[in-house]
Structure 1
Amino acid sequence: MAFQILALFAALATVSNAALTRRVTCPDGNTATNAACCVLFPIVENIQTHLFDGGECGDEAHGALRLTFHDAIGFSNTNPSLGTGADGSIFIFQDIELGFHANIGIDDPINNETPFINALNGSISVADFIQLAGAVSLTNCPGAARPTFMFGRKDAVAPAPDLTVPEPFDSVDSILARMGDAGFSPAEVVALLASHTVAGADNIDPNLVGLPFDSTPSTFDTQFFIETQLRGTMFPGTGGNQGEVEAPIPGELRLQSDSELARDSRTACFWQANVANLAHMTQTFSSAFAKMQVLGQDVSQMVDCSEVIPIPKPFTGQAMFPAGITQNDVEQACASTPFPTIPTTPGPVTSVAAIPQS
């Protein structure tokens, strides 16, 4: 009898597992756990081929990632008039929102994505496309974790108001207050800023376009958190750029907000925790990014289509100080833990190349 009962449980478990793993075959031959996700596979393929030039972590990918934040952060837990979050409003009401000072330069990714959005003919929402493109963009940057993707966002019916997007010259108090109102802790604010490891200046100063925020702008590594913690020097703009910038090495640009967050007592230890710890950085970023991507949306009415997102490229390097930089150049800010000991890149000091603009 005991054997029969065990056999029955085994049979039921097999049936249950089969039901859980049952998949549908999409018209293009891909398979999915939910038929609703089938529409996304050809969109992802098109994005990779024609928007991201076959899978590059370049200016187009950086812009798509930036656009996800500028669209989603128009949200408040205390004031509904501050927007409905990740709702596509920055595209739908671009005639209004692109006029906001914080959105200077966002017209570039908007222009890049416009032909793709127009070609959808409403098959998915604008809000879904913006977040889908941003998630796919990450997979082209070696080192990133595979993002999740929830499908089924509702598009905005009104624009987000001005002053919901933090700016590079805002104080730490202002940034943490605005992000806190949207539901993000100081630790999550730092986690989201991992996106700056694959980013650069975009019209912050018209004379300083394409200057990266770290020395490896096409790799989702921890260099951004290392290099932001270094003492800065005034360097002339490079790559045809004019003016002077404050940075640890020539060719970079360090945002005032990043510099201050790296040194503020409320965020410094969260910042330093990412140094030479890619697993921690990607895990905390992925959690905060997933939260940001569904701001203002009813997740219970959405479908998990994470399987349509490509598997990211691996990162095989290691965290290092740039050439000519040593542990002595670190401006220690975390009071409780020493800065990790990491090696210095051998060779002479070199300038970081500007990010080619699309």
Structure 2
Amino acid sequence: MYSTVICSLTLASVLSSVAGVATLDKRQTTNATASDGGSGIPTINDVTNPVCKPFVAVRDAIMGDIFQGRCNDNARAAIRLSFHDAGTFSLSREAAGLDNGGADGSLLVDPNEINRSENNGMQTIVSLLKPLPEKFDVSPGDVLHLAGTLAVIACPGGPLVNTFVGRPAVKNDNPTGLIPDTHDTVSNIVNRFSDMGITVREAMALIGSHTCARQRFVDLAFANDTFDTTPEIWDIRFYAETKRNDSDPGVFRLPSDLAFSHSSLTQDDYNRFVGSLSTQEDWAREYADAHEKMSMLGQDVSALTDCTEIMPEAIHLRDITVTSSGGAVDPAVDPAKLEAEIQRTRSIWLQ
């Protein structure tokens, strides 16, 4: 979410006719096909839309060369990058006819934008993604936001996010001063998200992306601390552990996250994601809608093509748990089942 963390907030729920985004029906499907041998990895021969076929190679370059098939630091950074690219969209700037932000890939284009203070820590992921638009003859926006949706699904428990391509070339740099800061007040952060077209309920779903994050700049004395006790798993432990302000070793609490869990402006929606495995599934769906909307902020949606069919299969926590009862994420993940699913659904990218 913030300029100070590795894996940041992303944006909102079911697509609406706001923030330059038209209403679309969700078309998430299971991507494992007969021809892929049940691996959950669609091949170019499985892709039905010819517009999407070139993006299979882009997907493989990101999942293999950059993420190495796992929820690594590059994947975490790609989630944060997708927010910093799209999260500068502003309804008020749009209404005033000013240069605007949006999901256009400008962070891969202007060499100065990545060096802004709010973008500190994303230089490596930008350097890794930057050659891909020219290499594969696709737009920077499509590369950046494909990386973002792939990063979510690379983290076990991360949902399948509908993925679209067809973004045009970058028009201008992102405006400055629009990325929320962790030390800001809840009301100011809520107002900033409102200017993007994001509701409080949507924003509280989005902060759950901190489940995979590490802080590196808020407090240098605790650099690389995580935000919950299961940073390799995309789960809802973040919500309950933050609300209780648990003193787990190696876990850091962002001031804004703590404030969200108790503020009268946000706590009702925040508490919707404090729960067990059934709540995990609810949050995953809401997050997927949110990230989908983020990835198209400021774009002409009618000009984009749905290429969700190239996406790998999600790893659901319900399939890799030790038992079916108990615990905040009800229950703990079985390491053997987890690795088996990673091997099955990520085999061609593992390094």
TM score, norm. by length of structure 1: 0.73
| RMSD of aligned alpha carbons | 2.3
Question: Are the structure 2 counterparts of residues 115 and 319 from structure 1 closer, same or farther at C-alpha, using a change threshold of 3 Å?
Answer: farther
Give yes or no for contact 1:102–1:166 (8 Å, CA) kept in 2. Answer: no
Q: 2:226·2:250 contact (CA, 8 Å) conserved in 1?
A: yes
Aligned-residue offset at 1:114: 2.7
Distance change (3 Å), C-alpha of 1:343 and 1:294: closer
Once the two structures are TM-superposed, the CA of residue 343 in structure 1 deviates from its matched residue by 8.6
The residue that corresponds to 1:306 in the other structure is 308
1:320 aligned residue (313, 320, 327): 327
* 2:126 is aligned with 1:110: yes
Q: Which structure is richer in relative contact order (CA contacts within 8 A, separation 6 or more)?
A: 2
- Structure 2: distance between partners of 1:278 and 1:343: 11
**Corresponding residue of 1:238:** none
Out of 86, 94, 103, the residue aligned to residue 111 of structure 2 is 94
Whether the aligned pair in 1 keeps the contact of 2:187 and 2:265 (CA below 8 Å) is: no
Structure 1 position 84, deviation (Å): 3.3
Give me the whole-angstrom Cα distance separating, in 1, the residues matched to 2:293 and 2:326.
Answer: 27
Residue 193 in 1 paired to residue 190 in 2? Answer: no
Q: Is the 8 A contact 1:151 1:302 kept in 2?
A: yes
Aligned with 2:174 (options 153, 160, 176): 160
Picking from 284, 287, 290, the partner of 2:289 is 287
**How far did 1:319 drift?**
7.1
Alpha-carbon distance, 1:91 to partner: 1.9
Whether the 8 Å contact between 1:138 and 1:312 is mirrored in structure 2 is no
CA contact (8 A) 1:85 1:296 kept: yes
Q: Secondary structure at the match of 1:127?
A: helix
Q: Does 1:151 align with 2:158?
A: no
Q: Structure 2: how far apart are the matches of 1:344 and 1:282?
A: 17
Counterparts of 2:101 and 2:245, CA distance in 1: 40
**What residue number does 1:263 align with?**
262
Deviation readout 1:297-350 (Å, 9 max, x if unpaired): 00001111011111112213477369xxxxxxxxxxxxxxxxxxx8999xxxxx
Deviates more, 1:132-141 or 1:77-86: 77-86
The residue number in structure 1 matching 2:187 is: 173
Measure the CA separation in 1 of the matches of 2:254 and 2:326: 21
Quick check: 2:87–2:196 contact (8 Å CA) kept in 1? yes
Match of 1:37 among 52, 60, 80: 52
Q: Cα deviations across residues 10-34 of structure 1 (Å, max 9, x unaligned)?
A: xxxxxxxxxxxxxxx9xx7423232
Which residue is 1:74 aligned to? 88
| Number of matched pairs | 281
1:156-204 CA-to-partner distances (Å, cap 9, x unmatched) read 2211121111111111111111110010000111111121111111333
User: What is the rounded CA distance, in whole Å, between the counterparts of 1:38 and 1:113 in structure 2?
Assistant: 19
**1:48 is the counterpart of 2:63:** yes
Q: In the aligned structure 2, how far is the partner of 1:82 from the partner of 1:190? A: 28
Unmatched segments (≥5 aa) in structure 2: 1-34, 36-42, 334-351
Tell me if the contact between 1:57 and 1:137 (Cα under 8 Å) persists in the aligned partners.
Answer: yes
Q: Which residue of 2 aligns with 1:63?
A: 77
Q: Distance in 2 between matches of 1:288 and 1:207?
A: 33
Please tell me the residue identity of whatever aligns with 1:196. H
Cα deviation, residue 49, structure 1: 1.3
Check conservation: 1:143, 1:314, Cα contact below 8 A: yes
- The equivalent of 1:140 in structure 2 is 154
- Correspondence for 2:216: 202
3-state SS of the aligned residue for 1:57?
A: coil
| Counterpart AA for 2:188 | S
Q: Deviations over 1:62-100 (max 9, x none)?
A: 0111100000011111213362300111221231x2343
Q: Secondary structure at the match of 2:83?
A: helix
| Stretches of structure 1 lacking an aligned partner (at least 5 in a row) | 1-24, 233-247, 323-341, 346-358
- Kindly state the Cα deviation for residue 106 of structure 1 after the two structures are TM-superposed: 1.9
* TM-score of the pair, normalised by structure 2: 0.75
Q: Using the TM superposition, give the Cα deviation of residue 211 of structure 1 relative to its aligned residue in structure 2, in angstroms.
A: 1.0
Question: Structure 1 segments of 4 or more deviating over 6 A?
Answer: 342-345
- Structure 2: how far apart are the matches of 1:101 and 1:62? 18
The share of aligned pairs that are identical, in percent, is 30
**Corresponding residue for 2:343?**
none
Inter-partner Cα distance in structure 2 for 1:158 and 1:294: 16
